[in-house]
Structure 1
Amino acid sequence: MRQITVMSGPERRRRWTDEERLRILAEAGAPGACVADVARRHDISTARIYTWRNKLRPQIAGPQFAEAVVDVGGVEHSASERSPAIVVEVDNKVRMTIFPTAPAALVAATLKALR
């Protein structure tokens, strides 16, 4: 049996605090959680959850990316080895930069994957 909330008076919309929104978003973003199930539990639409997520995105702790650094064991490279030898661009969507020090097998496999 579903619960029905009767709104009386001039106020017909529910008001959610940022803390309540963040709590619901955390519940919906948990591993294995289904947004539709969370929305049903809180009697809101799934679109409301996605709207809140977009508006409150800066406040939600999500995955962050770190800069990748490759340590080549202290080997010094000349300036020509650090500048790209070939730049491959496909339909202005994918761009691949090939450096002279790149292994041929890796370049061939990457170019094959781009086909």
Structure 2
Amino acid sequence: MVKADAALIGGTGIGEILRAHPGRAVMVPTPFGPMRGWLQDRQGQRVIVVARHAAGHKTPPHGIGYRAMAEGLRLMGVRRCLATAAVGSLRVDWAPGTLAVVTDFIDATGRQVTGV
């Protein structure tokens, strides 16, 4: 099994940017389906980059294999994970591209299972 120290999960608009760094494609089989990523070496750390919507933004939000992603990262021994997401804002003073940290989150997917 390929191991990684950390994971970067890229959402809309950033997944492909993260994959631009040299690395190699990996696939981790899980009971929930395969988890695909791009293994990179960043400052001496092995980092697995996962495009949330798959390469080319092909997977819609309701079709994302979150359980496969979580289990794949666990199997790889990932201890730290940073994920990005693109959302809208009701604040006119926040221009598109503004970075923010989420303090509240509402899961509106309607999914019953939210963990592995």
Structure number with the higher strand fraction is 2
TM-score range, shorter chain: under 0.3
TM-score (norm 1): 0.22
Structure number with the higher helix fraction is 1
